[in-house]
Structure 1
């Protein structure tokens, strides 16, 4: 109490200095049960009708935009259509993401039905992604076991040829990575989200993976048929370009949930890792008015610790938990009308966060000073 009062008297500079001295890898003085207890009980309640209302809203907007694009079909309209529709594809993904976590409703059948419709429509294999994303949440912050944007160890990093390094660490290539990740995962990991025999899945998952891959294949066939009927260039304008915008959103947002904070955050191995400590390395981001469009997915710390909480309760749950989290919660910088402020964090992280040590139970990203030099030549 005395220290807090002293900091208030000294002013903002002292507070900032105190924050920079804070060690984010230090074991927190609270338990996950303490955070849970601070969150109001109603924040855990899932209302399927409310969840479905967001689906109706987003699907209505998507089809309205499709109708307008077909109706106008002009080069004045297309540059406006692509980013807006691509953002709505991203919104559909987030609702399907809620289905995968079971935060959409208490009904597994409803979650699976809505999840398959939403994700298949944007070429995401629902169960294949759902299972690997569950692995990500269960192992967040773990160097070897995490699944989403997991750091490369120095050994794996040095085994990559220069072309692969350039593609992974040079903008804009990383923000188009998602389709490649679905087919082949990250460097150093094997498996595919489409194969029921992938090491991503257990034998009990195989039927679900086959179902999702079949739904994905049906959607792909529909797109191919429509391309033959309307012309491939028109289908690219109508669906392909928004799909690429969606992929950019997905990679941009998911990367910044776990990278790019102005103070380096730890990754863990062995006994140092715990579910709580791993979850506390995630980062909240503010996207301004887009927060509502993509269902507050930037409110990510509480989501990672408690993925069962519906998206429409995340902001309230986060505000309630801040008193417990203290300095382990990093307040996001407020966004302007467009979240361009986040681009600098992405560029900085991609430029400096290249690999982590092969050993050690608490590690931080290190920088390869040679990256970018002779990127297009073969490694020897």
Structure 2
């Protein structure tokens, strides 16, 4: 099983002429000195039999035996991790991070310069996004119908850059002037009709509780009891976490960010201001677009790029934290350093996407410390590779990676991390089986 602790494996060889193995099975056995007594394993004065019975030391005879440790458990094996990486579409699956390593240890290993805010670099990202977005709108206005999908892809990616700018503002890594950050963040989110403050409050919790069951506000595995509760809901979940998953952030945007009851009393005032800005943009911006270009113009110039943005919003988020070997854990088992360093994925995309989206997919250092500005993420990642490289999960975007996430990472399972829908409900998971057949498997 990936990313869970395997049981110890011992092989005990008798010193008789036949050297018959007396025990060759997986057991939860404490570390220490062991001897074999009367067919059982003695540790701290007791005999451990395969039937899990404990017998006092005084009632057994002694035979000579030697305990020989075999290979490490698969999760600790470099060869097994390499096999998993190939299977899942990763370049590297990191070693498990020791429990003794703290998030502070990782943060203090980073150069201080990666935390420095540079106003020139910050406003350069605004210039890149504004220019690329304007170019995208021009392309949409001039492109023949058969080139519109390319224009929409460019414009949707460009407007994702606005989201990343607002994302830096929310983390207080855009400017030393906090009022400027709030204004820029609110304005950057407006073309996406995304309320800045509600998103900021929920996103802060995602960083504080990354991959924590029931607490992380980004992706969560599907709960089996919820999945089995209602046939209609089950069908919606299968399609939502399968073929429609690259647009599931739309549901998250709608359900989470506009409901005042989901926020603490001290947050509600700022939430209302953000909602007022969004509704003002809808009330003024949409009629202007329709007045100038008609309903089809609204679809061409706003809706299709917006859907392109949500494609990246969904895809980036699920790739950052979702893989068969990356566990979600309950709060009592959760470890901050493991979740942020071991549970976050660095994924390299084509260069034009990296530029337009301001390196947001250099994501591990961002989870080590969200105070690192987007333009310093690559330098921070280089430092992490030098100091913690063997623990990192790294990939370059490929079809096998996407196919793994869309067809495997579904229902929460403590032992396996995830169980796919077609294992839990094979008769109703036709869309998942279809994806397994038609999606390319190139890595």
- Contact kept? 1:34, 1:324, Cα under 8 Å: no
Cα distance, 1:29 vs. partner?
4.1
1:319, CA displacement in angstroms?
1.4
Instruction: Give the TM-score of the pair, scaled to structure 2.
Output: 0.71
Instruction: Confirm or deny that 1:348 pairs with 2:411.
Output: no
Residue 20 of structure 1 and its aligned partner are, at CA, apart by 6.1
Structure 1: unaligned runs, 5 residues or longer = 1-13, 185-191, 334-338
2:37 aligned partner: none
Q: Distance in 2 between matches of 1:329 and 1:36?
A: 15
**Do the aligned residues in 1 keep the contact of 2:140 with 2:152 (CA within 8 Å)?**
no
Structure 1 residue 87 displacement after superposition: 0.7
* CA separation of 1:104 and 1:75: change in aligned 2, threshold 3 A: same
CA 1:158/1:214 → structure 2, altered by over 3 Å: closer, same or farther? Answer: same
Query: Aligned with 2:261: secondary structure?
Result: coil
Contact 1:24 1:266 in 2 (8 A): no
Q: Which residue of 2 aligns with 1:366?
A: 419
Structure 2 unaligned blocks of 5 or more: 1-76, 85-92, 431-443
Matched, 1:136 2:206: yes
Q: Which residue of 2 aligns with 1:187?
A: none
- C-alpha distance in 2, partners of 1:25/1:150? 21
Q: Which residue of 1 aligns with 2:280?
A: 218
1:232 and 1:274 map into 2 onto residues whose CA distance is 50
Corresponding residue number in structure 1 for 2:238: 166
Which residue of 310, 321, 333 maps to 1:258?
321
SS in structure 2 of the partner of residue 270 of structure 1? coil
Contact 1:43 1:314 in 2 (8 A): yes
For the residue of structure 2 that corresponds to 1:285, the secondary structure is strand
CA distance in 2, matches of 1:121, 1:223: 10
The whole-number CA distance in structure 2 between the counterparts of 1:77 and 1:330 is 36
Say whether the 8 Å CA contact 2:228–2:234 is kept in structure 1. no
Q: Which has the higher contact order (CA 8 A, sep 6+)?
A: 1
> How has the CA–CA distance of structure 1 residues 24 and 83 changed in structure 2, closer, same or farther, with 3 Å as cutoff?
same
Shift of 1:30: 2.4
Alignment correspondent of 2:17? none
CA positional deviation for 1:204: 0.9
In the other structure, the counterpart of 1:248 is 311
Q: Residues 27-52 of structure 1: CA distance to partner in whole angstroms, max 9, x if unpaired?
A: 44422222222211111101123211
CA distance in 1, matches of 2:154, 2:429: 34
CA 1:364 to 1:73, structure 2 compared with 1: closer, same or farther past 3 Å?
closer
Take 1:210 and 1:18, find their aligned partners in 2: how far apart are those partners? 48
Q: CA deviation at 1:61?
A: 2.1
Alpha-carbon distance in structure 2 between the residues aligned to 1:329 and 1:178: 26
C-alpha deviation, 1:271, in angstroms: 2.1
Number of residues of Structure 1 aligned to a counterpart in Structure 2: 341
Shift in Å, 1:80: 2.8
Query: Per-residue deviation at 1:65?
Result: 2.8
* 2:134 paired with 1:63: yes
Deviation by residue 1:96-130 (Cα, 9 ceiling, x = unmatched)? 11111111122221111111111011111111111
1:7-36 per-residue CA deviation (whole Å, 9 max, x = no partner) reads: xxxxxxx95346569996564442222222
From the superposition, tell whether residues 356 and 68 of structure 1 become closer, same or farther in structure 2 (CA, over 3 Å).
closer
The equivalent of 1:270 in structure 2 is: 331
Deviation at 1:277, TM superposition (A): 2.1
CA contact (8 A) 1:46 1:310 kept: yes
Higher normalized strand content (fraction of residues): 2
Change beyond 3 A, Cα 1:273–1:49: same
Mapped contact 2:102–2:336 kept (Cα < 8 A): no
Q: 1:329 aligns with which of 392, 396, 402?
A: 392
CA RMSD of aligned residues (A): 2.5
